[in-house]
Amino acid sequence: MSEEEQAEAAETADAGDEASEDAVDTEESDDGIQNGDFLRLDYTVRTVPGEDEEEGRVVDTTHKEVAEEAGIDDDEYDFSPRIIVVGEGHVFDSVDEDLVGKEVGDTNVVTVPAEEGFGEFDPDDVRTVSAEKIPEDDRYPGAQVTIDGEQGYVETVIGGRSRVDFNHPLAGDDLEYDYEILELVDDDEEKAAGLIGMYLQETPEVRIEEETVEEEVTVESDDEDGEPETETQEVDKRTLYIEATPMMQMNQQWMFSKQQIAQDIMGRLDLDRVVVEEVIDGSGGMMGGMGGMMGGMGGGMGGEDIEEALDDVDMDDVDVDADELVDELEDADE
C-alpha cells in the first residue's frame, strides 16, 4: 500500500471514530431528564457570598426551615417543592441546561451570573427626584417607593431632594441555585396543579374528567345554495376543572392572565377545555347570611317545594301582600 493510500485509510478510520463518538454523545444526551419533562424540585437560591461572608442571602427557597433561619418566614407562603417544566424558562437558563441529562435524586449547585439573574447594576438608575414625589411617611433610607410608575428604594433624603435607586434589589448579584430533583411528574392532574401554582403561588384543587357533551357543530348542507348548517352532536371532551378559591379569585395574576394560563395548560396536557368552578362557602359574610335566610324561609322548604308553591300563587293579583304570600307558601308546604 502506497503512502497516499495509507493516509486515506487513516483519515477514513479517524472519521469513523468521530462518527462513533458522536453517536455515543447522542445516545447519552437521550438518557436522563430531557426538555419538556415535568419535575418536582426542592431548591434554595442565595446570592454568591462575598469575601467576608460564609454564605449569601437567601433569595428564594422551598425549605421552610431555611426561610426561618434567614428571617423571611411567611405564614401565607407555600414552601412545598415546585413543579417546573424543563426548558420552558421556569428556572434560570443555566439551571435549565444543567437539569438536562440528570436523574431523579441528583443534586447540584449552579452559579447564575447577574446578567442572567436580576441584571447588572446600572448607576444611571439611581436618580435624584423631588422629595415631594415621595409620601411623607416613606422619606427615609430603605423605604420602597413607586415614582412615576417605577419601583425603587430611597437612599437619601436631603432637604427637598431624594436619591432613589430604581435597580432591582438583587441587581449585580451572582446567584447560587442549590437544587435536588425529587421526582418526575407523570400525572396530568399534578402537572396542571403544579403549573397553576407556579403562576399564582397557590395550588388549587383540580381534576380532569373525560366526558361526552352536546355541542353545535357545522355540517355540510344539502341545500343547493351551500349555506353551512349546524346540528347538535355528542362530542368527547377532556376537561380540566379548577376549584377557584376566594383568594385565587382576588389574585391579580389570575384576574388578568387566566385566559393565557388556561391556554398554556391545555396545550401542554392535551385538554379540550378548562372549567373554573367558583366556590362560595357558608362561613359568614353577606352571602352566608343570605343563604341562611333563604334556607329558613317557608320552614325549610326545598327548591321543588318553593317552585310548586309559586305555581299556586296568582301573580295577576297585584294587591297580594307579604303576609298573604307567606300563608300561601306555608299551605303549599303542608
- CB neighbours of 316 closer than 8 A, spacing ≥ 6? none
Percentage above 90 pLDDT, the chain = 51
Quick one: pLDDT band at residue 5, thresholds 50, 70, 90? Answer: low
Contacts of 280 (CB under 8 A, 6+ apart): 246, 287
Angle at 131 between CA 125 and CA 133, to 5 degrees: 80
Question: pTM of the predicted model, to two decimals?
Answer: 0.66
Which residue stretches of 125-251 are H helix?
A: 188-200, 246-249
Instruction: Check pLDDT > 80 for residue 188.
Output: yes
The answer on pLDDT for 27 being more than 70 is no
**Is residue 78's pLDDT more than 80?**
no
pLDDT of residue 101 exceeding 70, the answer is yes
Please name the residue that has the C-alpha cell 389574585. Answer: 251
Please report the pLDDT score of residue 306 as a whole number: 41
Count of C-beta atoms within a 10 Å radius of residue 237: 14
Sort residue 127 into left (φ over 0), alpha (ψ -120 to 50) or beta.
beta
Rounded Cα gap, residues 306 and 329, in angstroms: 7
How far apart CA 196 and CA 257 sit, in angstroms, is 11
Q: Please, which pLDDT band fits residue 133 given cuts at 50, 70 and 90?
A: very high
Residue 248 burial (CB count, 10 A): 21
